[in-house]
Structure 1
């Protein structure tokens, strides 16, 4: 095999590898989107009280396996970029950023809901204490 033949084969192999890498990134991005919560799970919740609503919402906001798939997409994208394997990777970069932003929004909202789920029972308890004190004060006045 001549030197130019070997180079041609290497170029063909590199081209195949680049195509497979792009395909891997796209497949992982699709899997990430598929793993995102269903919009109805975030919007429609059934519960008996506020805490139940907050817990259901917190569960609905869980990005689940989407984060793992996004990580894999970024891994293959980074490898392809460093190898200069993509002719144009702008679309992949945009898609990665969009999924990444959505996961970040889910995580931030989930954290806020978790904070609220922790605060609401405390507020209820404080209100109950205030209510009891008010009742006790009312009883004291009626005793006089």
Structure 2
């Protein structure tokens, strides 16, 4: 085997290690960008709308999606180049993080919908109560 082939193999091995490190780093950064469990569970607010708005803010994944995308990009590159000896752990971490982020995104949308619905419901109920009071006043 020529010296060039040995150098190429060594360089490829180094590149594969760097790709793996990039994937792991992006996954870690994505994980750190997710909300903390206690932040989702605990809310301090004066009313229901305040709780919903607080939860909606907490459920924003921010930069986590971009970091996950970077991890998937480098993982795909490494896989296609057959650079990894064993990448099952990376694939599993990516899939797990994708599932968590999908659930958080769904919850974010649902809370947003509820946060916009609650004031409308309150307005409708206030209106009905006001009509009832007005009818009682006219009957007296």
The TM-score normalised by the length of structure 2 is 0.96
Q: Which has the larger radius of gyration?
A: 1
CA deviation vs aligned residue, 1:104-143 (integer Å, no higher than 9, x gap): 111100100000000000000000110011111212222x
Structure 2 runs not aligned, ≥5 long: none
Q: State the match for 2:3 in structure 1.
A: 5
Q: Which runs of 4+ in 1 moved over 4 A?
A: none
Matched, 1:82 2:80: yes
1:47-86 mapped onto 2 (5 Å cutoff) = 47-86=45-84
Determine helix, strand or coil for the equivalent of 1:122: helix
Across the two proteins, how many residue pairs are aligned to each other?
Answer: 140
Determine helix, strand or coil for the equivalent of 2:2: helix
RMSD: 1.0
The TM-score normalised by the length of structure 1 is 0.94
